[in-house]
Amino acid sequence: MTLNLRSTAALCAALTVCLLLAVPRNFPGLGADARFTLAVFVLATCAWMGTSIDDTYIALGAGLALTVTGVISSDTLFGTLGEATVWLLICAFVLAAAVSRTGLAGRAAVFLVSGARTVRQLVHLTTAALVVTAFAVPATSGRAALALPVFLALAKVLADRKRLVVMLALLFPTVILLSAVATLIGAGAHLITVSVLWEATGRHIGFTQWLLLGLPLAVASSHLSAELVLLTTTRRADRSGPVRITPEQIQQHSEQPVTGPWSQAEKRCALLMATVVLLWCSEPLHRVPPALVALIGAVIASSPALGTVRLKDALKTVPWSLLLFMAATMAMGVALTDSGAAKWLVSGLPTSQAPVVFLAVVIAVSTAAHLVLQSRSARSSVLVPLVVAASVGVGVNPVAAALASTAAAGFCHTLPASAKPVTLFAQIPGTPTYTPRDLLRLSAFLAPLTAALVLLFAVAVWPLLGVSVTR
């Protein structure tokens, strides 16, 4: 019933806007291409919000409509699939498949978690481990799938302390989602943001710059949220008891060895990943693009002699639907910018407001956007082109505004369906996990906390790292 009501409301809103745009007298100064682009944009957004149609199908339909009508060229539509950021994501998934095959994740979990002696130590060591996975596994859903066996092992060890198990079930997706901002490959939304900034302003954000700006925010937000999860989910008595987790207990729930001598495959994979990450981080020194580094790493990781996974098996793990979605929404962003639609949409905004107020509004809207648009990439596709256009008009640095919007959109914890990691950890047969009420209680505190933290970084930290608030 709720879905039908939502669908009807979205359809009515889309048709109303389209009818208004179809009347030439309405909205003087808006060209034909801009009118059609806005109509397609509104229809796609309402379809994402109010229907169960696949997000990628909607995005491809929108991109096709813009191409057939001549708003953008076919080269623009198909060229987005050849973007370096798309290749970076494909190769990153191949590397992640190689890591998963070797069992290095289990060894890393044992190294960190088995050292915990208190509940608080367990929470923050687990948080640190989850933040590190942002460098090895792209996309939050992939990291959640990788972390699930570790959580199940911890849940079995702590089976007699139900509140701690529920707390860990909430901790894993919370940290996975908030720590994604650490790297450029952390979420598809980041690649959309980079593409929109490049098309609209000519400003390029590389892997190293994103790491410099995003990693401190990821670490701060992850550990603060971990503390919040601990305090809102457990009682003092739950936190006071000792914790003892042994490697043998984790081994019972892992198919690969988590202790003992490393195999040759594990050594090769660890060395390869360390080299790839080091080359990504030192891009300003050697000038080799991150996508090319990732491609070299993927070829080695899947090679017959040195690799740990077959290429065809690794390619099966690549979310091709997500890549098509990204490509289509990138084309939509180009259409919004080139047609003048984005500029017209924000032309009525007051230009005298303080930059901090503008950023606060952007962050608030981006934080709440998950309530109507569940896809993180869709949120960035809708918001970032408008934020970039609006920031130019009010004198705010578009890079700061786009990054703030994308970082704030990482909060999507209110409902079990708000994000795939939240859904995954909410439905674990035979294991105690959180309820919608637990999510709402956490979100009531976490939403303002993460929004305030992003604003703090945008106005106080990022300017020290080369991204000023004003242009």
Q: What is the pLDDT of residue 1?
A: 41
The separation between CA 219 and the C-alpha centre of its own chain, rounded to angstroms, equals 15
Read off the pLDDT of residues 32-59 as tens digits, 9 standing for 90 and up: 888 888 888 888 888 877 777 888 888 8
342 or 251: whose pLDDT is higher? 342
Q: Average pLDDT for residues 362-376, to the nearest whole number?
A: 81
Question: What are φ and ψ of residue 45, in 5° steps?
Answer: -65, -45
DSSP 457: I
Location of structure tokens 């703090």: 456
Q: Is residue 105 pLDDT above 80, yes or no?
A: no
Per residue in 201-240, pLDDT tens? 878 888 888 889 999 999 999 999 999 999 888 888 777 7
**pLDDT tens for each residue of 182-208:** 888 888 888 888 888 887 787 888 888
Q: Which helix (H) or strand (E) holds 301?
A: helix 290-301
C-alpha 179/C-alpha 226 separation (Å) is: 11
Give how far Cα 440 sits from Cα of 269, 434, 459, Å.
40, 10, 29
Residue 242, helix vs strand vs coil: strand
**Structure letter (DSSP) for residue 302:** T
- Residue 427 burial (C-beta neighbours within 10 Å; 0-12, 13-18, 19+): exposed
**Helix (H, G, I), strand (E, B), or coil: what is residue 431?**
coil
Are the beta carbons of 174 and 446 closer than 8 angstroms? yes
What is the C-alpha separation between 241 and 216, in angstroms, rounded?
31
State yes or no: pLDDT of 338 exceeds 60.
yes
Secondary structure (DSSP) of 188-241: HHHHHHHHHHHHHH-----HHHHHHHHHHHHHHHHHHHHHHHHHHH--HHHHHS
pLDDT of residue 348: 60
Average pLDDT in the chain: 82
